[in-house]
């Protein structure tokens, strides 16, 4: 009768806060913050406090479903697994292994991701494995790997509290990473200066000492302008550059072209502001750069990341306590799923597939021949659906809402020969599936998550999955056996041991070491206590590299036909495609309907009033949503959150890709706005 309290990890953002769920009679009845958790320390955001609400939602998938005509029919696991295996095998036999693709998930545990990519790579001898990191921090992984050798947050979240200057670029941490914002406020209370670069006046910007409302997509000009001024004023850390960096001359040459005035012109702000910000940053004893989707989701996302790293390295503000570069990962385990090799070009631990040594190592360990050809990325797989890709296995992803130009995505998904979707709800994507496998949510499985500060944390099973649903771990093992691969694992613990043996940086990670507070990688052996910050004496790649960031202006600029910039993003009560949050009554109450923010002057011109229904149209499609008149957006800009299936902001977004990381340009496209006719106002 007594309630049980189980310590676990929040399933939402990359902060990885500690939750304690209260279980009564096999049901989760409440969530409490974990007072002893190293990151959240007894606090939670709105999503965390109500994380239990979706778990027992009646919409949860309880049995495998197979498509028959236009409807789904429940089948048993005994039918589902052979069906899946047979279809995948047939596809591989007919079209070759490269016609099969797999999307693993940033929502699943490290062990599951590891198994997923292992399954795809082993069974089909292909590297067509990717996941939604492609849509958020692929540029970070690529860009930071080039500059520092390690595509992860250099420091720990708690380090932010010790910084004297925090430069936040393109992150609305207050809504997307609230607990991290708390650390920033700690620094503010100690006297730190917070500078926010964001076209929108976000909640973060409202609380900052300085807010730079730059034109969308002009991050490189701004950072280049800052670097130029730092160089001109001699504020750079010459000793650091001499000892630890390379490529300085190239950078200097590049900066020749970027006078502060030119930068200011591009950004639409004053040159003195840029000088001022540059000085504040460079002169601060400890300075941190926090960035997020505002940097990465551009067609020049990787170059943006380069520019950010260049600035930090130019001032020597990296590789020590407090100072560093803090990319904020968006999903609870997006760091982990990248680490576990859920990317088409690398094995677990970022060991390149085209690196013969790595290939050899994994071939030996897995006892199968592996492909040395980098696989297709998520965007390429979706784009090539029905062509190069004939069968797709999607584990807990929802590209029908999250990918750019979703109208096109939907068309592509419909073209697939066979689509398996493994999820906890019948998502928009699952509706296209031929086979739907019911999976377990965070409270129903054991495993590890890696949060944005590279901390492996233990997820503990609190309750059993509903109905016949199974943990992804179990499903993967079943499917592997169906495909004739031996996955002899009984517990995720064993998978973790296998990972530790294959990836040196995770060599010391064991479940029993994670019980109390988790471990931050690199952790090479079982005596190592984890690494609080990276690049202390030397960069992971040896010397740090200045990469010159090549500026590409946003692909689509407002013109006469489409006069507004569209910016997409999150809002605080919802999370990504809303699969979980919109099924949580409390969170959904906070915001039930989609909206788009528009500046009062623009609204007045278009005759739009608060709450009116408006139609936003881009070259790719249009959505109808409610207008919210707000000075948070700049004049000439529209902001729309992308959580809503009834007004998918990603119908509008532009699928133009970053050449290196293949991330689409989510943050900028051109749209037009009209008020819906009176009869459609729905009043």
Interface residues toward another protein, by CB under 8 A? 1-3, 5, 7, 20, 24, 33, 35-36, 40, 42-46, 48-49, 174-175, 178-179, 181-182, 185-186, 189, 203, 206-207, 515-516, 571-573, 586, 589-591, 593, 595, 609-613, 626-628, 631, 681-683
State which residue, 215 or 568, has the beta carbon closest to another protein.
568
37/620 with CB nearer another protein: 37
Nearer to another protein by Cβ, of 40 and 218: the residue is 40
Of all helices (H) and strands (E), which one includes residue 235? none
Comparing CB distances to another protein, the nearer of 1 and 490 is 1
Q: How far is the CB of 639 from another protein (least distance, A)?
A: 12
Whichever of 39 and 419 has its CB closer to another protein, that residue is 39
Q: Which is nearer to another protein, 243 or 515 (CB)?
A: 515
Three-class DSSP category at 541:
coil
CB-based contact 123:480 (threshold 8 Å): yes
Report how far apart, in Å, the C-alpha atoms of 174 and of each of 63, 184, 276, 489 are. Answer: 38, 10, 25, 40
CB of 189 to another protein, least distance (A): 7
Give the span between the Cα atoms of 582 and 173, in whole angstroms: 21
Question: Cα separation of 282 and 264, whole Å?
Answer: 18
The answer to whether the beta carbons of residues 446 and 459 sit under 8 Å apart is yes
User: What secondary structure letter does DSSP report for 70?
Assistant: T
Task: Give Cα 522 distance to the centre of its chain.
Answer: 21
Q: Is the separation of the CB atoms in 148 and 318 below 8 Å?
A: yes
| Cα 3 to Cα 477: distance, rounded to the nearest angstrom | 33
Task: Give per-residue burial for 544-578: e unless 16+ CB within 10 Å, then b.
Answer: bbbbbbebbbbbbebeeebebbbbbbbbbbbbbbb
Would you say 583 or 613 has its CB closer to another protein? 613
Quote the least distance from Cβ 677 to another protein, whole Å.
13
- Closest contact distance (angstroms) between CB of 601 and another protein is 11
Q: Residue 493: how many CB atoms within 10 A of its CB?
A: 15
Question: Min. distance of Cβ 23 from another protein in angstroms?
Answer: 11
Q: Residue 597 CB, nearest distance to another protein (Å)?
A: 10
Angle CA(325)–CA(328)–CA(331) in degrees, nearest 5?
Answer: 150
Say which residues have a Cβ less than 8 Å from residue 430's Cβ, sequence separation at least 6: 421, 423, 436
In the bound complex, what is the minimum distance in angstroms from residue 628's beta carbon to another protein?
A: 6
**C-beta of 3 vs 82, nearer to another protein:** 3
Smallest gap from Cβ 323 to another protein, in A, equals 22
Cα distance between residue 317 and residue 358, in whole Å: 33
Beta strand 129-130 with 245-246 is: unpaired
For another protein, which is the closer residue by CB, 204 or 670?
204
DSSP letter string, 572-625: TT--TT-TTGGGSHHHHHH--S-EEEE-HHHHHHHT--TT-EEEEE-SS-EEEE
Of 207 and 617, the one with the shorter C-beta distance to another protein is 207
- The closest of 471, 446, 465 to 457, measured between CA atoms, is 446
| CA–CA distance, 365 with 537 (Å, rounded to integer) | 32
Output the smallest distance, CB 2 to another protein, in A. Answer: 5
Q: For residue 186, how many other CB atoms are within 10 A of its CB?
A: 15
**Closest CB 31 distance from another protein, rounded Å:** 9
Closer CB to another protein, 586 or 659, in the complex = 586
CB of 598 to another protein, least distance (A): 12
Residue 174 or 437: the one with the smaller Cβ distance to another protein is: 174
> Could you give the CA distance from residue 104 to residue 117 in angstroms, rounded to a whole number?
7
Cα gap 136→298, rounded to integer Å: 10
Token pair for residue 22?
């209260």
Token pair belonging to 377: 């990325």
Q: Which is nearer to another protein, 333 or 588 (CB)?
A: 588
Smallest separation, CB 251 to another protein (Å):
37
Comparison of 16 and 558: residue with beta carbon closer to another protein: 16
Compute the least distance from the CB of residue 40 to another protein, in Å: 8
Query: CB of 561: closest distance to another protein in angstroms?
Result: 27
Contact 451, 330 (CB under 8 A): no
Burial (CB < 10 A; 0-12, 13-18, 19+), residue 391, is: buried
CB of 641 to another protein, least distance (A): 9
Q: With respect to another protein, which residue has the nearer C-beta, 250 or 515?
A: 515
Which residue carries 């037009």 as its tokens?
A: 672
Q: Which residue has the tokens 């129903």?
A: 444
């Amino acid at each position: 009768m007594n309630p049980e309290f189980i310590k676990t990890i929040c399933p939402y953002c990359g902060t990885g806060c500690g939750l304690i769920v209260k279980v009564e009679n096999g049901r989760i009845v409440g969530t409490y913050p974990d007072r002893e958790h190293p990151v959240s320390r007894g606090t939670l955001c709105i999503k965390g406090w109500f994380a239990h609400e979706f778990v027992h939602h009646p919409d949860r998938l309880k049995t495998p479903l197979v498509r028959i005509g236009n409807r789904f029919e429940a089948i048993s696991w005994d039918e589902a697994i052979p069906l899946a295996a047979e279809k995948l095998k047939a596809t591989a036999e007919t079209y070759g292994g490269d016609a099969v693709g797999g999307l693993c998930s940033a929502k699943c545990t490290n062990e599951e991701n590891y198994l997923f990519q292992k399954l795809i790579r082993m069974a089909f001898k292909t590297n067509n494995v990717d996941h939604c990191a492609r849509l958020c921090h692929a540029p970070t992984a690529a860009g930071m790997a080039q500059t520092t050798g390690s595509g992860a947050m250099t420091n720990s979240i708690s380090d932010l509290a010790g910084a004297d200057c925090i430069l936040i670029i393109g992150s609305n941490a207050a809504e997307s990473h609230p607990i991290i914002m708390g650390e920033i406020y700690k620094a503010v209370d100690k006297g730190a200066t917070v500078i926010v670069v964001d076209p929108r006046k976000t909640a973060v910007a409202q609380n900052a000492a300085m807010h730079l409302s730059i034109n969308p997509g002009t991050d490189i000009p701004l950072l280049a302008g800052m670097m130029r001024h730092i160089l001109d004023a001699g504020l750079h850390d010459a000793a650091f550059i001499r000892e630890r960096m390379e490529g300085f001359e190239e950078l200097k040459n590049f900066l020749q072209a970027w006078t502060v005035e030119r930068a200011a012109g591009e950004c639409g702000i004053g040159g003195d502001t840029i000088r001022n910000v540059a000085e504040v940053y460079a002169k601060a004893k400890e300075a941190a750069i926090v960035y997020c989707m505002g940097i990465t989701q551009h067609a020049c996302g990787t170059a943006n990341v380069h520019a950010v790293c260049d600035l930090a390295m130019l001032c020597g503000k990296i590789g020590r306590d407090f100072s560093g570069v803090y990319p904020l990962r968006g999903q609870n385990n997006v760091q982990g799923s990248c680490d576990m090799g859920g990317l088409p070009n690398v094995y677990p631990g970022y060991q390149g597939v085209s690196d013969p040594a790595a290939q050899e190592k994994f071939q030996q360990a897995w006892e199968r021949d592996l492909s040395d050809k980098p696989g297709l990325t998520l965007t390429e797989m979706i784009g090539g659906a029905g062509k190069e890709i004939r069968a797709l296995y999607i584990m807990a992803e929802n590209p029908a809402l999250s990918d750019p130009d979703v109208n096109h995505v939907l068309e592509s998904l419909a073209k697939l020969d066979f689509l398996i979707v493994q999820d906890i709800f019948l998502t928009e994507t699952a509706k296209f599936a031929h086979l739907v496998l019911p999976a377990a949510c965070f409270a129903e499985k054991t495993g590890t998550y890696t949060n944005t500060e590279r901390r492996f944390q233990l997820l503990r099973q609190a309750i059993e999955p509903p109905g016949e649903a199974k943990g992804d771990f179990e499903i993967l093992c079943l499917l592997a056996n169906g495909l004739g691969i031996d996955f002899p694992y009984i517990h995720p613990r064993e998978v973790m041991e296998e990972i530790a043996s294959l990836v040196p940086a995770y060599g010391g990670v064991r479940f029993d070491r994670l019980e109390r507070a988790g471990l931050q990688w690199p952790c090479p052996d079982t005596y190592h206590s984890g690494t609080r910050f990276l690049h202390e004496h030397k960069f992971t790649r040896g010397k740090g590299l200045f990469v010159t960031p090549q500026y590409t202006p946003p692909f689509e600029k407002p013109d006469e036909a489409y006069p507004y910039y569209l910016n997409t993003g999150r809002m605080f009560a919802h999370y990504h495609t809303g699969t979980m949050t919109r099924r949580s009554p409390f969170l959904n109450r906070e915001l039930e309907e989609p909206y788009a923010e528009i500046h009062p002057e623009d609204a007045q011109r278009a005759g739009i009033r608060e709450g009116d229904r408006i139609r936003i149209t881009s070259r790719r499609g249009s959505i109808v949503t409610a207008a919210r008149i707000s000075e948070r957006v700049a004049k000439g800009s529209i902001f729309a959150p992308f959580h809503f299936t009834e007004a998918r902001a990603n119908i509008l977004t532009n699928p133009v890709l970053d050449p290196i990381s293949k991330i689409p340009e989510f943050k900028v496209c051109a749209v037009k706005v009209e008020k819906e006719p009176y009869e459609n106002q729905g009043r």
